[in-house]
A and B are shown apart, each in its own frame.
Chain A
Amino acid sequence: MKDDLNSKTGRDSIDAILADEGELIPSSGFLAATMERVRKEAAAPRPIPFPWLRALPGIVLVAGVLGWCGYEMVRVGFTEGAETSLAQMHLTANWSALGPVGWVAAALVFSLASWAFARRMAGGSGLL
């Protein structure tokens, strides 16, 4: 391919200047400095891979909750009309029927699930 290029163009002044450049010699400490970095890299602990298997139940749970919320919002939005505000949807979802005790219980369950999920991710023996 080199011959192809040069047979058509000849070796011109640009070639002569750019190809016949002097060679740079690496500094004497280059090899040592590079190997130092390599040794450090080799000695460092390997990065911990993300625990996808452990995270899977949590991801599915969150996706399910978000999907359910989305479904509810769309359903309520259709039944109440386009002008229904988010706050109205919230109320019309009949969640208020849970009452204060229900909300506290739901919050506690959610907190427990978050804690267990975090323990599971960290490799501990959580409740899950």
Chain B
Amino acid sequence: MQAATSPEQDLADVSRVLAGEVEAFAGIVRRWQRPLVNMAWRYCRDRGRAEEMAQEAFLRAWRGLAGWRRESSFSTWLFALAANVFRSELQRVPVVNVSLDDVAEPAGPAVQHEELAKRQSDGQVRRAVLALPHRYREPMVLFYFHEMDVAAAARTMGLPEGTMKARLARGRELLKKRFPHLGEFSTAALGSAPGPEKEVLQ
């Protein structure tokens, strides 16, 4: 998810905030509220909680602004910080979710209203991501949040890209097992039955 922002604007606002101008932080919140709320939403699928978590992330960003060393881009720093906040918030109060086995498979073609059926089916697949084991859940969330950019997702999690790819492959495989009707998921390309950390995507 790309923010309508430029690194120069972020840099300028950060400098103003560090110089003591509190109101300059509003520019940062204005530009990054959509990405952060959407990121939080993908972690918890609860709008109210997503906004609370995003707000907490902004507050932590405010406190830690002086710690941004400018070696990485502001967005990389902010997303990594937000991921940490969301992770610890969800550890503190976990999302009420069901096990992957309990997520119902979508109804078949007998459903008359195709659009509604598709929406329900898609919703079940998205909720199923939250039912994945923890180590595969967050890579899946961040990979799709970053518009399928493995490198960006890996930077946000602070993981090597190889590890991220392996976890993604495993997460997608688990989803595919749960929802076998979902298209042409190429298990041949992913390798057969990969281990949790095995590098299966080149």
Contact = CB atoms under 8 A, between A and B. Distances in A.
Interface of A: 1-2, 4-6, 8-10, 12-19, 21, 23-27, 30-31, 33-35, 37-39, 41-42
Interface of A is mostly: helix
Contacts of A24: 34, 37-38, 41, 47, 50
Contacts of B63: 41
Contact of A14 (B42, B54, B183, B201): B183
A71 B179 CA distance: 68
A13 B182 contact: yes
B150 interface: yes
B185 A26 contact: no
A99 B176 CA distance: 82
Contacts of B62: 38, 41-42
Contacts, number: 116
Interface residues of B, number: 49
B197 interface: no
Interface of B is mostly: helix
Nearest to B154: A1
Given A2-B150, A21-B144, A26-B51, 7 more contacts: A2-B147, A2-B148, A5-B150, A8-B202, A13-B184, A34-B59, A41-B63
A31 to B, nearest CB: 5
Contact of A26 (B1, B37, B179, B184): B37
Interface centre among B62, B126, B161 (most CB of A within 10 A): B62
Contact of B189 (A1, A8, A14, A27): A8
Contacts of A19: 144, 147-148
A41 B191 CA distance: 51
Given A5-B165, A27-B51, A38-B62, A14 B34 contact: no
Contacts of B59: 34, 37-38, 41
27 contacts: A1-B150, A4-B201, A8-B186, A8-B190, A9-B186, A12-B185, A14-B172, A14-B175, A14-B179, A14-B183, A15-B144, A18-B126, A18-B129, A19-B147, A19-B148, A21-B144, A24-B50, A26-B33, A26-B37, A26-B51, A30-B51, A31-B33, A37-B55, A38-B22, A38-B25, A38-B59, A41-B59
